[in-house]
Structures are given as structure tokens and as C-alpha cells.
């Protein structure tokens, strides 16, 4: 049955239009976009505020949500943070992972995110013991996304080494399938279904030996699946790669067939000019995660240079220091302002594209992230009358959303034409905060 949503204002890239009717077909697609509809049609669902395309969280580690607050005590580096992360990972089971991820994905829906790319490497039981279902942890994530009403691209991740061929440490045994061939055999048993895509990931050049990179890349190519990789997040990884292989991580990936239009490098922080050229000329995407990159003191990546070279930009909340797509979008611009001491590197429209359509494309959903006929009926609505957003002219609503709004301003989220969040309340996870508190408490040592 066709349904109509009436948007008080809608961002129809690149402008904000008043009075837009979005017709949704029974198969969850936008069947029509009608501008200049001054009043809600009879029977239409009214969306007050600014309606945006569904926002994409291109890079997520759901279990990192349990670290929020805890890792803000004291000082340290990415590597000391990682030790705390390992402790949380050691306590997860398929059931507790499902409970946590369900709440985390519901938090994302409350923030206006309609699709998430889960960079999933927590495959086995402690010590590396296989569950009866070798994909029990991945299936827990798939069930959690279904419960929370969001689309999921499960980026099943190859992680077989503690560093450039060294055996996994005691924590990493949960992540490893022995080698890339073992990873491929297990990952091949995962099946796509409604609202679920299966992709692949190379955890990093340190975690997958060079001779096994092609196995992962070929697996993804054969399935026309997205392929993601943590890339040059830390200078220590760059130095170790130079010592092991005499080249940068980007060059190593290029030499082994990992780069390309279906591939997204996550972070891409510490790159040489030649790295930027290789990524751009191959069409490899870049997923920036600004709130995590600053939280972990990673550094500011060359996002503008990468995009200028031909690398599409998307955004992710990664470790979930916060879950707020507007914060990620504006941080991309504000970080570049700090780095260059100039303003205006991206328009609000360009930042919204990074937060929506570019993320959908990076996650293997090319018909999502836009408000146009034939697209997935995924959208979210931001209040324009909160203390953060009240005041600006409606024609500046996109600028207001990107540079002033927060996830707390999201009023409605719709996925496949079905409401997931209404009036700021998640419809299938009615008390997200309590579920988060309970799931995180279960994992405390």
C-alpha cells in the first residue's frame, strides 16, 4: 500500500525546498517526490522540520560503545586504549553482543542513521574456540540490526596476525581464522537477506600478511561486495610496514590488488602525496571518523586532498565516543579549518552528501541516501525549533543542521518507508538508554 510523507522542508540536493510530498511504494522505495505541496495531503504522515536522506554510519565497531566514558580516565595513546578495548572484547558472547548491538544500533536510529557498516572482527570465543555456528557473532549483529530497524552491511573482517606475520596474541585469537583462506571459508557461509548486505574487510596491513591480501580482495570482487580496510591510522603502523616491506601501507595494498572503486580506506590519516595519488586515481573511497580520530589522538587526515584526487568521502562514528552524524560532518570541515587556518572547504551540501549518499554507496547500497524517485525510502527529520536550531531562515536549514544541530534534534527516522523513530522515540526499542546501561554493565570486569 502506498504511503505519503509530507515534509515541511526537505533537502533536495543541493537546496532546501518547502512543502515536499514523498510518496512511498509498498516495496519500500520512493515512488514520487512532489515539490510545492503547501499543506499535508489527506492521510499523509507529517514531518515537521528538515527532512534529510537517511544518514549512513560507514564505519562502526558496535562493542566499542561499552568503552564510552571508561577510556576518558587518565592519559595514553591509541595503543593503551587498545588494551582496554581487548578487555571488553574478551567478555562478549553472542547473546551479550546481540543485546549491546541492538541498543547501539537503536541509538544510531535515534541519531538519524539508517544504514550502518559494521567492521566485524570479533568472530570466535575466547582463546579462538569456534562456536557451534562459526558465524554466531556475526548473526548476533544481523539480528540486532533487524531489531533496531536499520540496514546493515556486515563487513566481515580478516584478522590473522598481531603484526606483519606474527602470531595473534591471546586477545586476538578471537579474531583469527588461522589464515585468509580460513576467513574466506567461514565468511562464505554468511547470507544476505532483507536489509542486510555482506561485505569484506582487511583489518589492516599489519593484521593480514601481504601474501594473503589478494585472497580477501578476490573474495570481495567475486561477490561484487564492498571491501574496507583500516589504513594508516597510526604512524607506528606506517613505520612497521616500511621496515617489513619497504613501502607504505597504501602502496602495499595497491601492489596486492586491494584498491579500487569498491574499496574504502578507513581513516587514511598519515599519507604521503603518492599515497593520496594512488587512492584517488584508483577511486578508492575514504571514510573519515573525526570524533574517534580526535578522541584517540590519531591526527587530522588529508580529506580535502583525497577528495580532490578522486577519493569519495564518507563518515563513520567508529568507536562511538559519540554517535552523532552532524558532529562527524561538521568536524570534517572544522578539522580542516584548524589545520589550514582557512574556512569553507566544504559546503553544507557536500558534507551532507558525505554523511548520506556517499556512505550508502561505500556500503553497497547504491540506491540509498537521496530523496528522489526510485531511491530507498530511507530518511530522517531534524527539528528546526530546538534551542540549537531555532532562528535561521528556513532556506539555511541545511547549514543549520550540519553546523548547529545534534543527534538530540532528530525527531523521525524512516527505513524502507516504515517509521523506526517517531517524535524522538524508538518504536521497537522503547527505552534505548536503559538497554544501553544494562548491556554495558554486563560487560564490566
Q: Which residues are catalytic?
A: 267, 318
Note whether 45 and 6 are within 8 A (CB): yes
Q: Residue 76: which region, alpha, beta or left (left: phi > 0; alpha: psi -120 to 50)? A: left
Rg of the chain on CA atoms, in Å = 21
Q: Positive or negative, the Cα torsion across 389, 11, 265, 305?
A: negative
What count of other Cβ atoms lies within 10 Å of the Cβ of residue 155?
30
Which residue do the cell numbers 590519516 mark?
A: 269
Note whether 88 and 66 are within 8 A (CB): yes
Instruction: Please name which of 175, 85, 75 lies closest in space to residue 130, comparing C-alpha atoms.
Output: 175
Cβ-Cβ contacts under 8 Å for 245 (sequence gap 6 or more): 164, 210, 252
* Residue 381, all three cell numbers: 527529520
Rounded to whole angstroms, the Cα distance separating 85 from 79 reads 10
Angle between helices 213-222 and 180-187 (to 10 degrees): 20
Rounded to whole angstroms, the Cα distance separating 8 from 35 reads 11
Length of the chain: 445
Rounded to whole angstroms, the Cα distance separating 304 from 336 reads 8
Amino acid at each position: 500500500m502506498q504511503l505519503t510523507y509530507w515534509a515541511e522542508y526537505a533537502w533536495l540536493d543541493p537546496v532546501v525546498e518547502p512543502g515536499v510530498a514523498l510518496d512511498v511504494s509498498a516495496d519500500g522505495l520512493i515512488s514520487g517526490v512532489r515539490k510545492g505541496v503547501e499543506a499535508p495531503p489527506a492521510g499523509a504522515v507529517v514531518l515537521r522540520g528538515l527532512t534529510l536522506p537517511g544518514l549512513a554510519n560507514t564505519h562502526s565497531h558496535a562493542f566499542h560503545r561499552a568503552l564510552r566514558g571508561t577510556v576518558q580516565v587518565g592519559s595514553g595513546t591509541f595503543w593503551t586504549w587498545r588494551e582496554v578495548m581487548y578487555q571488553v572484547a574478551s567478555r562478549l558472547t553472542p547473546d551479550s553482543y546481540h543485546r549491546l548491538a541492538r541498543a547501539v544500533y537503536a541509538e544510531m536510529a535515534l541519531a538519524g542513521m539508517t544504514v550502518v557498516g559494521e567492521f566485524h572482527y570479533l568472530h570466535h570465543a575466547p582463546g579462538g574456540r569456534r562456536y557451534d555456528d562459526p558465524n554466531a557473532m556475526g548473526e548476533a549483529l544481523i539480528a540486532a540490526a533487524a531489531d533496531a530497524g536499520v540496514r546493515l552491511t556486515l563487513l566481515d573482517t580478516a584478522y590473522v596476525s598481531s603484526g606483519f606475520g606474527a602470531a595473534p596474541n591471546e586477545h586476538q585469537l578471537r579474531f583469527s581464522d588461522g589464515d585468509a583462506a580460513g576467513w574466506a571459508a567461514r565468511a562464505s557461509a554468511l547470507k544476505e537477506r532483507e536489509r542486510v548486505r555482506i561485505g569484506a574487510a582487511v583489518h589492516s596491513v599489519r593484521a593480514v600478511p601481504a601474501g594473503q591480501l589478494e585472497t580477501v580482495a578476490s573474495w570481495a570482487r567475486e561477490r561484487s561486495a564492498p571491501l574496507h580496510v583500516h589504513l594508516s591510522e597510526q604512524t607506528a603502523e606506517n613505520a612497521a610496514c616500511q621496515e617489513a616491506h619497504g613501502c607504505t601501507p597504501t602502496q602495499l595494498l595497491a601492489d596486492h590488488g586491494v584498491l579500487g572503486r569498491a574499496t574504502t580506506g578507513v581513516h587514511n590519516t598519515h599519507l604521503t602525496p603518492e599515497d593520496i595519488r594512488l587512492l584517488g586515481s584508483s577511486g578508492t573511497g575514504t571514510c573519515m571518523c573525526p570524533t574517534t580520530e580526535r578522541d584517540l589522538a590519531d591526527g587530522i587526515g588529508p580529506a580535502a586532498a583525497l577528495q580532490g584526487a578522486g577519493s569519495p568521502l564518507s563518515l563513520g562514528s567508529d568507536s562511538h565516543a559519540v554517535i552523532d552524524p552532524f558532529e562527524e560532518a561538521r568536524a570534517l570541515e572544522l578539522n580542516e579549518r584548524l589545520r589550514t587556518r582557512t574556512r569553507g572547504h566544504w559546503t553544507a551540501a557536500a558534507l551532507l552528501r558525505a554523511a548520506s549518499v556517499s556512505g550508502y554507496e561505500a556500503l553497497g547500497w547504491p540506491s540509498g541516501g537521496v530523496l528522489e524517485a526510485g531511491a530507498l525510502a530511507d530518511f530522517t527529520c531534524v527539528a528546526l525549533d530546538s534551542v540549537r536550531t531555532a532562528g535561521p531562515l528556513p532556506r539555511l536549514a541545511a547549514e543549520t543542521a550540519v553546523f548547529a544541530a545534534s543527534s538530540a534534534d532528530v525527531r523521525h527516522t524512516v527505513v524502507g518507508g516504515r517509521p523506526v523513530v517517531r517524535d524522538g522515540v524508538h518504536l521497537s526499542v522503547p527505552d534505548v538508554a536503559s538497554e544501553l546501561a544494562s548491556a554495558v554493565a554486563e560487560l564490566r570486569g
